[in-house]
Amino acid sequence: MRRATLSRERVLQTAMAYADAQGIDALSMRRLAQELDVVPMALYKHVAGKEDLLDGMIEVVVGEIIGATATGFWKQDVRERILSARKTLVRHQWSRTVLESRSAMTPAMLDYLDSLTGLFIDGGLSVDLTHHVMHALGNRMWGFSQELFAATPRSDTSSFTAQRDALPRQHPHLAQIAMAAAHAGSDARLGPGCDDQFEFEFALDVVLDGAEILHAQHWTSAPRTSSGPRDIRPR
Amino acid sequence: MRRATLSRERVLQTAMAYADAQGIDALSMRRLAQELDVVPMALYKHVAGKEDLLDGMIEVVVGEIIGATATGFWKQDVRERILSARKTLVRHQWSRTVLESRSAMTPAMLDYLDSLTGLFIDGGLSVDLTHHVMHALGNRMWGFSQELFAATPRSDTSSFTAQRDALPRQHPHLAQIAMAAAHAGSDARLGPGCDDQFEFEFALDVVLDGAEILHAQHWTSAPRTSSGPRDIRPR
DNA sequence: GAGACTAGGTGTACTGTGTACACCTGTCAA
DNA sequence: TTGACAGGTGTACACAGTACACCTAGTCTC
Most confident of A144-153, A204-213, B185-194: A204-213
Helix H, strand E, coil C: the string for chain A is: CCCCCCCHHHHHHHHHHHHHHHCHHHCCHHHHHHHCCCCHHHHHHCCCCHHHHHHHHHHHHHHHCCCCCCCCCHHHHHHHHHHHHHHHHHHCCHHHHHHHHCCCECHHHHHHHHHHHHHHHHCCCCHHHHHHHHHHHHHHHHCCCCCHHHCCECCCCHHHHHHHHHHHHHCHHHHHHHHHHHHHCCCCCCCCCCCHHHHHHHHHHHHHHHHHHHHHCCCCCCCCCCCCCCCCCCC
Q: Which of B44, B60, B76 is the last residue of a domain?
A: B60
Q: Which nucleotide is nearest to B33 (CA to C1')?
A: C9
Q: In which band, very low, low, confident or very high, does the pLDDT at B187 lie, cut at 50, 70 and 90?
A: very low
Q: Is B3 on the interface with A (CB under 8 A)?
A: no
The mean per-residue pLDDT over the stretch A139-164 comes to 61
Q: What pLDDT is attached to residue B19?
A: 98
Q: Does B53 lie in the same domain as B90?
A: no
Instruction: Confirm whether any atom of chain D, the nucleic acid strand, is less than 7 Å from CB of B5.
Output: no
pLDDT for residue A178: 85
Q: Torsion-angle region of residue A221: left (phi > 0), alpha (psi -120 to 50) or beta?
A: beta
Asked whether residue A168's C-beta has any atom of DNA/RNA strand C within 7 A, the reply is: no
Kindly report the bases of strand D lying within 7 A of a protein C-beta atom.
6-12, 15-21, 26
Query: Is position B106 within any domain?
Result: yes
Cβ-in-10-Å burial (0-12, 13-18, 19+) of B45 comes to exposed
In a domain, A77, yes or no: yes
Determine the Cα–Cα distance for residues A202 and B190; give it in Å rounded to an integer.
29
DSSP structure class, residue B67: P
Higher pLDDT among residues A163 and B24, named by residue: B24
Q: Please, which pLDDT band fits residue A150 given cuts at 50, 70 and 90? A: low
CA-only gyration radius of chain B, Å: 22
DSSP 8-class letter at B28: -
Please state, in angstroms and rounded to a whole number, the distance separating the CA atoms of residues A234 and B215: 9
Q: Say whether residue A227 is in contact with chain B using an 8 A CB cutoff.
A: yes
Please determine, for residue A162, whether its predicted confidence score (pLDDT) is greater than 50. Answer: no
**Residue length of chain A:** 235
> Closest partner residue to B151 among A105, A148, A172, by Cβ?
A105
Please, which pLDDT band fits residue A234 given cuts at 50, 70 and 90? very low
pLDDT value at B201 more than 50: yes
Reported confidence tier of residue B67, pLDDT bands at 50, 70, 90: confident
* Nearest-by-CA chain B residue for A235: B235
Q: Is residue A229 part of a domain?
A: no
Q: Is residue B116 domain-shared with residue B138, that is, in the same domain?
A: yes
Q: Residue A169: its pLDDT value, please? A: 84
Q: How many CB atoms lie within 10 A of CB A49?
A: 11
- Which residues in chain A are contacts of B136 at CB distance < 8 A? 199, 202-203, 206-207
Mutation site for A-interface testing, chosen from B158, B170, B176, B177 by largest number of A Cβ within 10 Å = B177
Query: B90 and B202: one domain?
Result: yes
- The C-alpha of A1 sits at a distance from chain B's nearest C-alpha, in angstroms, of 37
Q: Are residues A134 and A211 in the same domain?
A: yes
A133 and A202 share one domain: yes
Average pLDDT, integer, range A107-112: 94
Q: Can you state the angle between helices B94-101 and B74-91, rounded to 10 degrees?
A: 110
Identify the weakest region by mean pLDDT among A27-41, A199-213, B90-104: B90-104
- B87 in any annotated domain: yes
* Average pLDDT for A42-48: 98
CB of B170 within 8 Å of any CB in chain A?
Answer: yes
Asked if residue B1 belongs to a domain, the reply is no
- CA A145, CA A93: separation in Å to the nearest integer? 13
Q: Which domain holds residue A175?
A: 152-184
- The per-residue pLDDT for range B139-169, each reduced to its tens digit, is 999 999 876 655 555 444 434 334 555 677 8
Nearest-angstrom CA–CA distance, B235 and A8: 54
Q: Which of B117, B206, B208, B220 to mutate to test the interface with A (most CBs of A within 10 A)?
A: B206
Q: Is A220 on the interface with B (CB under 8 A)?
A: no
Chain B: closest CA distance from residue A20 (Å): 19
- Together in a domain, B88 and B199: yes
Q: How confident is the model at residue A168 (pLDDT cuts 50, 70, 90)?
A: confident
- Residues B200 and B105 occupy one common structural domain: yes
Does A132 sit within 8 Å of B148, measured CB to CB?
Answer: no
Whether residue B55 is found in the same domain as residue B68:
no
Same domain, B138 and B67: yes
User: Residue A9: what pLDDT?
Assistant: 96
Please determine, for residue B1, whether its predicted confidence score (pLDDT) is greater than 50: no
% of chain A at pLDDT higher than 90: 67
Across the interface, whether the CB atoms of A170 and B217 are under 8 A apart is answered no
Return all residues near A152 (Cβ < 8 A) that are at least 6 apart: A189, A190, A191, B104, B105
A214: closest chain B residue by CA: B234
Phi-psi region of B175 (alpha: psi -120 to 50; beta: other; left: phi over 0): alpha
The answer to whether the Cβ–Cβ distance between B121 and A205 falls below 8 Å is no
Strand partners, A153: B105
For residues A188-208, give the mean pLDDT. Answer: 81
CATH at residue B18:
1.10.10.60
Query: How many CA atoms are closer than 13 Å to the CA of B223, on its beta-carbon side?
Result: 0
Residues A157 and A133 in one domain: no
pLDDT of residue B164: 54
Task: Round and report the angstrom distance from CA (B201) to C1' (C1).
Answer: 71
Mean pLDDT of A127-156: 79
* B225 against B119, higher pLDDT: B119
Question: Could you check: is the Cβ of residue A5 within 7 Å of any atom of nucleic acid strand D?
Answer: yes
Task: Dihedral sign for Cα B96, B102, B108, B112, please.
Answer: positive
Evaluate whether residue B25 is within a structural domain. Answer: yes
d(CA A206, CA A79): 11
> Is residue B11 within 8 Å of residue B53, measured between CB atoms?
yes
* pLDDT of A69 strictly over 80: no
> What whole-number percentage of chain A has pLDDT above 70?
80
Average pLDDT over residues B93-118: 93
The residue-averaged pLDDT of A86-115 equals 94
What's the pLDDT score for residue A104?
Answer: 86
Q: What is the pLDDT of residue B195?
A: 87
Q: Mark which residues 99-158 of A lie under 8 Å from B by CB.
A: 100, 102-107, 110-111, 113-115, 117-118, 121, 127-128, 130-136, 138-141, 145-146, 148-155
- Tell whether B224 is covered by a domain: no
Is there a single domain that holds both residue A84 and residue A117? Answer: yes
CB contact under 8 A, B127 and A233: no
Query: In chain A, how many domains are there?
Result: 3
Give residue B13's pLDDT: 98
**Alpha carbon of A233: minimum distance to chain B alpha carbons (Å):** 7
Query: In this structure, how many other beta carbons lie within 10 angstroms of the beta carbon of residue B69?
Result: 8
Query: Is residue A183 very low, low, confident or very high in pLDDT (cuts 50, 70, 90)?
Result: confident
Query: What's the confidence (pLDDT) of residue B68?
Result: 72
- Per-residue pLDDT of B109-135, as tens digits, reads 999 999 999 999 999 999 999 999 999
- CB of A49 within 8 A of CB of A55? no
Lowest mean pLDDT of A23-27, B55-59, B63-67, name the range: B63-67
Look at B154 and A103 and tell me if their CB atoms are within 8 Å. no
pLDDT at B3 exceeding the cut of 60: no
B7 CA, C11 C1': Å apart? 21
Q: Which residues contact A186 (CB under 8 A, 6 or more apart)?
A: A192, A193
pLDDT confidence bin for B87, thresholds 50/70/90? very high
Distance A6 CA to C22 C1' (A): 22
Model pLDDT, residue B162: 41
Rounded to the nearest angstrom, the minimum Cα separation between A81 and chain B is 15
Does the pLDDT value for residue A146 go beyond 50? yes
SS3 state at B23: coil
Q: pLDDT tens-digit profile of B12-52?
A: 999 999 999 999 999 999 999 999 999 999 999 999 999 99
Domain membership flag for residue A226: no
- Better-scored residue on pLDDT, A93 or B4: A93
Mean pLDDT over residues A220-233, rounded?
Answer: 58
Same domain? For A67 and A128 the reply is yes
Average pLDDT over residues B5-18: 96
Three-class SS string for B175-212? HHHHHHHHHHCCCCCCCCCCCHHHHHHHHHHHHHHHHH
Nucleotide with C1' nearest the A51 CA: C18
